[in-house]
Amino acid sequence: MKKILILMLLCAVSVFTVYANGGAEPEVYTLRAGHTNTPAADSFYQIQATIFKELVEDYSDGRIQVDIYPSAQLGSDREMIEYVKTGSQDIHLTSLNLITDHAPRLDSLMLPFIFDDPDKAVGAVDDLWEYYNDYTKERADLILLDLPIVGYRKIMSVKPIRSLDEARNVKFRLPPSPLFVKTFEGLGINPVTIPWVELFSAMQLGTVDAFECDPTVLVSARYNEVVKYITDIDWTTQVSVMVMSEISYNKLPADLQKAVDKAAAGTRERMKVESSNILDTCIAQSPDVTFLGRPDDYEEWVRLGQKVWPEFYERIGDGDAAVGEEAVNMLVQAYANQ
């Protein structure tokens, strides 16, 4: 079924489906939004997509309809971001680290230990919204609809991890993100990269002992069934992203583009509240998971983690380290101003 849906996407003649009744009724544009979460009521991306769907359908007086495809029905995250870049899929929702290969400047938002207060981080992103959106459109042909920040990414493990030494002695999984891999190598941790769709079974089978993520996956992806301990390394905030194909956006009439813009702004505001609620609910629904707090040597994590920043200035600056450092300094200043 999945392959059939993907084939239908790739073979679609238009960016989205347009319906008309002999010109008597306004055209209705159908946008396809895909993500890899389940369609459960407490699923982060499903909630985010549903909020946007409700708002854009309202603001467009029904002239825009959004079809949501959860559970990787349209493909993997890597496949879907390619589809959105080419316009064969309209909207994609995922973790920010999975799209920064296409827009490396956004890696600045995930530098290790750059934020010590998620609420202030939200304000900094708000202040720099146009800067990031303009860059992402120019660099990747993607329009930012939402960049919700959901607390911190933490270590989730089957064994208690209270120090760097203990983290260095487990089989540690990371996503295939250069920033993530370099950061954890700088901490002395030798990670393995396993696709997200394979991680649950890898934890069950003991192929890996630990991974880092935000706690919303405890419920939405059932990781409270395999995770026994959580360590608050708080190394970076969990930044999710909802992007739209610029090709799809430009196909819309000007008034419907405004409806998309308004719905995106409304989604950003509502997700600030929903993000906190989702996080609290996931923790409350995971009574068998032991929260260990911060590691005993937390300051050493911070010291080693921040040392890798200069190694990413060139990437963040699209090949120009000076531009990358300037982008990071601008974010640090926006954060300090909150």
Residues 268 and 169 in one domain: no
Please write the tens of the pLDDT for every residue from 80-131.
Answer: 999 999 999 999 999 998 999 999 999 999 999 999 999 999 999 999 999 9
Residues 271 and 138 in one domain: yes
Task: Quote the number of domains for the chain.
Answer: 2
Residue 318 sits in which domain range?
154-236+288-336
Please write the tens of the pLDDT for every residue from 258-282.
Answer: 999 999 999 999 999 898 888 888 9
Give the containing element (helix H, strand E) for 157: strand 154-157
pLDDT score, position 12:
45
Angle at 16 between CA 13 and CA 22, to 5 degrees: 90
pLDDT score, position 4:
45
Is residue 84 within 8 A of residue 243, CB to CB? The reply is yes
Residue 232 pLDDT greater than 50, yes or no = yes
Give the containing element (helix H, strand E) for 28: strand 28-34
Residues 120 and 163 in one domain: no
Residues 232 and 111 in one domain: no
pLDDT greater at residue 245 or residue 9 = 245
Task: For residue 144, report the phi and psi dihedrals to the nearest 5 degrees.
Answer: -75, 125
Residues 258 and 229 in one domain: no
Residues recorded for the chain: 338
Residues 194 and 312 in one domain: yes
Instruction: Please give the model's pTM, rounded to 2 decimal places.
Output: 0.86
pLDDT score, position 10:
46
pLDDT greater at residue 255 or residue 277 = 255
CA 261 to centroid of chain Cα atoms: 19
Residues 120 and 228 in one domain: no
Residues 37 and 53 in one domain: yes
Among residues 106, 107, 138, 115, the alpha carbon closest in space to that of 334 is found at: 115
- How far is it, in rounded angstroms, from Cα 155 to Cα 138? 35
Residues 28 and 130 in one domain: yes
pLDDT score, position 221:
84
Q: How sure is the predictor about 3, in pLDDT bands with cuts at 50, 70 and 90?
A: very low
Rounded average pLDDT over 202-215:
96
Cα distances from 282 to residues 180, 228, 232, in angstroms, run 24, 14, 16
Burial class (CB in 10 A: 0-12, 13-18, 19+), 170: middle
Residue 20 pLDDT greater than 50, yes or no = no
Residues 197 and 106 in one domain: no
- How far is it, in rounded angstroms, from Cα 82 to Cα 309? 28
- How far is it, in rounded angstroms, from Cα 337 to Cα 170? 39
